[in-house]
Structure 1
Amino acid sequence: MEFEDGSRATKYTTLAAGPGFRHELEIRRSRFITVLRRSADEDAARDLVTGLRREFHDARHHCSAFVIGPDRMVQRSSDDGEPSGTAGIPMLEALVKRETAPGVTDLSDISAVVVRYFGGILLGAGGLVRAYSESVSAALDRAPLVDRNRLRLCDVGVPHADAGRLENELRSNGFVMAETRYEARQAVLRMALPDTPSAIGEAGSRVAALTAGASVLEPRGTEWIDVPR
């Protein structure tokens, strides 16, 4: 069976959709304002930085990091005037190394910007690394996260008279039914399945068994959905 492999991952963790999340720390008189926002692409991530530069126009630094894509292939960071390697990279590592479950590091489609108001006390390179890393980690501790799952939509054509029975039987077997479409010659049941060969193979076998081989599973497109934690 052929799969659409624009990305290999079928599940990852991201920030809940919405205007974003903010958290502030004060470290040795400097204010570190962290803003997290869900970002589907690099343009959205850069737009966040641009907007915060306008909002906090009098701040000295607007450091940023973002991770994009189900397979986290796009990763960028910026020190924005802080000593090289003391802000953007620690922020990026806080995102990339974040455990969303024991042993699982799959956080993606998320941008982090830390706005710093200098408080007059130099933190040194080590202090800056800790401050920027801690700022992002503390925000993630409080931010609403969701699971994002890729589902494979599959169609099953059956006679009109059998549609209701088959749909009920599939539901009772634990399958997610997306919709039923009634056409001139048949009814088409749509299933939403985990986008893995094993899950689709199991569903195909179940459809064949329930219809005595009269109907087959026809894979269609995919769809990403958010699942609250």
Structure 2
Amino acid sequence: MDSYKAVYQGGEGEIVEKKSRFIATVHPIESEEEALEFIAGLKKKYWNATHNCWAFVAGERQELQRCSDDGEPQGTAGRPMLEVLLGEGIHNAAVVVTRYFGGTLLGTGGLVRAYSKAVQAGLKASVIIEKQQGFLLKLETDYNGIGKIQYILGQRGIVITDSEYTEKVKVETLVPQELLAGIREEITEGTNGKAVFLACSPVCFALVDGAPVIFA
């Protein structure tokens, strides 16, 4: 996949339905083991809760999916929670919704809505990023060419991550996979072939608060 949404920083959201508290805790994960460890930790933290329902999805294609109703009527908690993650296009994330019963039964439909709403609140409190497959592009040009390169990259919303000004100008940038060929061609033409491409390494990256972050 060229890009996908993932949780960069987890968060916690809470809703109240007919005096029942639903606390959704979202956490980034990379494997089933990490997800189960996170779930176990939340069950320990909220040991006195009525239910600790959970769901997680992992893999670039969301290939690993699991969920649990943790004692709620079948299909009223875990599956709706998982559907929210899938519906939002989230990858590599786990969520636990902790319920403290308020004394009033919500019914099947009410439970589905409450658990879904809680996950949405948890995601809203989290930092969601879009991970992209791309290239770390390093190039060198003369002082006449740097302005043209800055313009070309700026037109595509591509951020210069590093630059060095000596006799020549060295520039480092992150280019989305699908834009690489076009960017190289534009830079070559824009600098009349004076730009030299020093390195082009495949990476996975995302913009976090406008700043690029490279992932292993």
TM-score bucket (shorter structure): 0.7 to 0.9
Map 1:43-82 → 2, pairs under 5 A: 43-82=33-72
Q: How many residues align?
A: 203
State which drifts further: 119-128 or 57-66: 119-128
Map 1:33-182 → 2, pairs under 5 A: 33-98=23-88, 106-156=89-139, 158=140, 162-173=141-152, 174=154, 175-179=158-162
Q: Note if contact 1:204-1:217 (Cα within 8 Å) is conserved in structure 2.
A: no
Identity of aligned residues (%): 32
Q: Note if contact 1:40-1:68 (Cα within 8 Å) is conserved in structure 2.
A: yes
Map 1:170-209 → 2, pairs under 5 A: 170-173=149-152, 174=154, 175-179=158-162, 189-196=171-178, 199-209=179-189
Distance 2:30 2:142 in 1: 38
Q: Note if contact 2:133-2:202 (Cα within 8 Å) is conserved in structure 1.
A: no
Shift of 1:148: 3.3
C-alpha distance 224-40 of structure 1, shift in aligned 2 (>3 A): farther
Whether 1:223 and 2:216 are equivalent positions in the alignment is no
Alignment correspondent of 2:7: 15
Q: Note if contact 2:131-2:204 (Cα within 8 Å) is conserved in structure 1.
A: no
Whether 1:24 and 2:14 are equivalent positions in the alignment is yes
Distance 2:149 2:15 in 1: 51
Shift of 1:119: 3.1
SS at match of 2:136: strand
Distance 1:22 1:178 in 2: 32
**AA paired with 2:42?**
L
SS at match of 2:90: coil
Shift of 1:67: 2.5
Distance 2:173 2:151 in 1: 13
Q: Note if contact 1:33-1:115 (Cα within 8 Å) is conserved in structure 2.
A: yes
* Misfit runs of 4+, over 6 Å: none
Q: Note if contact 1:9-1:71 (Cα within 8 Å) is conserved in structure 2.
A: no
**AA paired with 1:223?**
C
C-alpha distance 22-190 of structure 1, shift in aligned 2 (>3 A): closer
Q: TM-score scaled to structure 2, two decimals? A: 0.76
Alignment correspondent of 2:214: none
Q: Note if contact 1:149-1:226 (Cα within 8 Å) is conserved in structure 2.
A: no
Shift of 1:188: 6.2
Q: Note if contact 1:14-1:107 (Cα within 8 Å) is conserved in structure 2.
A: yes
Q: Note if contact 1:207-1:217 (Cα within 8 Å) is conserved in structure 2.
A: no
**AA paired with 1:227?**
V
Alignment correspondent of 2:213: none
Distance 1:191 1:29 in 2: 52
Q: Note if contact 1:207-1:215 (Cα within 8 Å) is conserved in structure 2.
A: no
